[in-house]
Amino acid sequence: MAGCQRFYRAMLAILLLCVTLQGCTKVETLKEYRKDIFALNTWVNIRLYAGKDGPTILDKAVKRIEEIENRMSVTIPDSDVSRINSNAGKQPVKVHDDTFEVIKKALEYAELSNGAFDITIYPIVKLWGITSEHPRVPTEAEIKDKLKFVNYKDVVLNEDQKTVYLEKEGMGIDLGAIAKGYAADEVARILREQGVTHALINMGGNVVALGGKPDGRPWRVGVRNPRSENMQSHITIIEIMDGSVVSSGDYERYFEQGGKRYHHIFDPSTGYPANSGLMATTVVAPKSIDADALSTTVFIMGAEKGLQLVDKLEGIEALAVTFDKKIYASEGLKGKLTVTDKEYELQP
Ligand code: AMP
Ligand code: MG
């Protein structure tokens, strides 16, 4: 009798275990979670698909963005960047690994572009104040004076100490052309770590796609019409499963005076807004930090030289939109684009 009871008890235990295990392995249905915040001077939108931990994952992503902003903002007084700038010509400054990595990458792109991309552009950025309340066209003399401090070769990195030193007092760096890319990559890394397999991150034109849409189709990233106020108006669409699509242009931040447009991307060789014949550029790359640095670089270098540079880089593609509404593409994008606005014309 006792043996029989033991048998039933054992059977019940096995049954309960099965039910519990089944409960554990049940596939959770994925829901869409979204978050919009203003950070790194732009609107950030994260859309991800997850189980009920979606909100917690979004919080982690937001925290990481804020962390990066607090280290790399040029306007936050105790950020790494502000400390580097206020110690220019005085002493090296120890920075967080994040900041060090971004500055190192920025200097690589400065070399690669022969100084077209140059984070020491800050004195010029400040002088024009394009993104400030009072932008203005400075005098030639003022520009000449500030250009003395623009040279990426005067940035000294110490890999062991993780210090950054600007050699001349008056110098300053600005990571506005590359930090968003780094932040977008970091958000993607966190999402993957948390098991997210489908997501789209947009940081003011810095887009990172993760794993395509939940239905298996690629994400569709519209390339904005640089002369339309409507942010939804696009000139072509780039389909992407995993990777980054980043755009730069004269339409993002600018002011007009005397019928002329003065925008926020400067040519370090002149101290004036870059005038290479382009309204916009878009770069597609596996990592957003590269796409970000390169979209700014191609914009400054112009269609011919910029796309030549991109063609030399493995796995990176770009397009450049000229003032006369012609779209030039890098080798790997040729024949793959469809123009969605009849005013624009794709070049063979
Ligand atoms: P993006 O929107 O990524 O093209 O970056 C534009 C921002 O980069 C500007 O608002 C400036 O803060 C900064 N910037 C402007 N000119 C340059 C340049 N020649 N090299 C690096 N950064 C620049
Ligand atoms: Mg950029």
- pLDDT tens per residue across span 328-345: 999 999 989 999 999 999
Which is more confidently placed, 258 or 150?
150
Q: What is the pLDDT of residue 230?
A: 87
Nearest to 279 by CA among 258, 295, 292: 295
| Average pLDDT of the chain, as a whole number | 93
Nearest to 98 by CA among 1, 219, 25, 183: 183
Q: Which atom of ligand 1 is nearest to the CA of 181?
A: 3
Residue 179 Cβ < 6 Å to ligand 1: no
Could you report how far apart the first and last alpha carbons of the chain are, in Å?
A: 89
- pLDDT tens per residue across span 196-226: 999 999 999 899 999 999 999 999 999 999 9
Q: Which atom of ligand 1 is nearest to the CA of 131?
A: 10
- pLDDT tens per residue across span 116-138: 999 999 999 999 999 888 999 99
Residue 289 Cβ < 6 Å to ligand 1: no
> What value does the mean pLDDT take over residues 234-251?
96
Instruction: Report how far residue 180's alpha carbon sits from residue 189's, in angstroms, rounded to the nearest whole number.
Output: 14
Instruction: Report how far residue 202's alpha carbon sits from residue 224's, in angstroms, rounded to the nearest whole number.
Output: 13
Q: Which atom of ligand 1 is nearest to the CA of 180?
A: 3
- pLDDT tens per residue across span 53-99: 999 999 999 999 999 999 999 999 999 999 999 999 999 999 999 99
**What percent of the chain stands above pLDDT 70?**
92
In the beta sheet, which residues pair with residue 339? 236
- pLDDT tens per residue across span 137-176: 999 999 999 999 999 999 999 999 999 999 999 999 999 9
- Ligand located closest to 75 CA: 1
Residue 44 Cβ < 6 Å to ligand 1: no
Instruction: Report how far residue 223's alpha carbon sits from residue 241's, in angstroms, rounded to the nearest whole number.
Output: 16
Q: Give the other-Cβ count within 10 Å of 104's Cβ.
A: 13
Q: What is the pLDDT of residue 131?
A: 87
Residue 265 Cβ < 6 Å to ligand 1: yes
Instruction: Report how far residue 155's alpha carbon sits from residue 268's, in angstroms, rounded to the nearest whole number.
Output: 15
Residue with token string 């001349």: 168
Residue nearest (by alpha carbon) to ligand 1 atom 12 = 176
Q: What is the pLDDT of residue 231?
A: 83
CATH superfamily of 32-69+177-346: ApbE-like domains (3.10.520.10)
Alpha-helical regions (H) of the chain: 2-25, 54-72, 80-86, 97-112, 122-128, 140-147, 179-193, 288-301, 303-311
pLDDT at 2 > cutoff 80: no
- Ligand 1: residue of 107, 174, 267, 270 to mutate (most ligand atoms within 8 A of CB) is 174
Residue nearest (by alpha carbon) to ligand 1 atom 3 = 177
What CATH number belongs to 75-166? 1.10.3980.10
Specify the 3-state DSSP secondary structure of 208.
strand
- Ligand 1: residue of 127, 150, 265 to mutate (most ligand atoms within 8 A of CB) is 265
Residue with token string 């250009």: 147
Which is more confidently placed, 146 or 254?
146
Residue nearest (by alpha carbon) to ligand 1 atom 1 = 177
Specify whether the CB–CB gap between 34 and 47 falls below 8 A: yes
Residue 300 Cβ < 6 Å to ligand 1: yes
Q: What is the pLDDT of residue 229?
A: 86
Report how far ligand 2's centroid is from the alpha carbon of 248 (Å): 6
Instruction: Report how far residue 225's alpha carbon sits from residue 238's, in angstroms, rounded to the nearest whole number.
Output: 14
Q: What is the pLDDT of residue 23?
A: 45
pTM: 0.91
Residue 121 Cβ < 6 Å to ligand 1: yes
Residue 177 Cβ < 6 Å to ligand 1: yes
Specify whether the CB–CB gap between 329 and 337 falls below 8 A: yes
CATH topology of 32-69+177-346 equal to that of 75-166?
Answer: no
Residue 273 Cβ < 6 Å to ligand 1: no
Q: Which atom of ligand 1 is nearest to the CA of 178?
A: 3
Phi/psi-derived region of residue 22, left when phi > 0, alpha when psi is between -120 and 50, beta in every other case: alpha
Instruction: Report how far residue 96's alpha carbon sits from residue 72's, in angstroms, rounded to the nearest whole number.
Output: 10
56 is written with which tokens?
């917690």
Residue 298 Cβ < 6 Å to ligand 1: no
Q: What is the pLDDT of residue 27?
A: 53
Instruction: Report how far residue 97's alpha carbon sits from residue 92's, in angstroms, rounded to the nearest whole number.
Output: 15
Q: What is the pLDDT of residue 16?
A: 53
Q: What is the pLDDT of residue 104?
A: 98
Please report, for the chain, the start and end positions of each structural domain, with discontinuous segments joined by +.
32-69+177-346, 75-166
Confidence of residue 288 (pLDDT cuts 50, 70, 90): very high
CA angle 290–130–97, rounded 5-degree value: 35
Residue 119 Cβ < 6 Å to ligand 1: yes
Q: What is the pLDDT of residue 18?
A: 45
> What value does the mean pLDDT take over residues 190-194?
98
- pLDDT tens per residue across span 17-34: 544 444 444 456 899 999
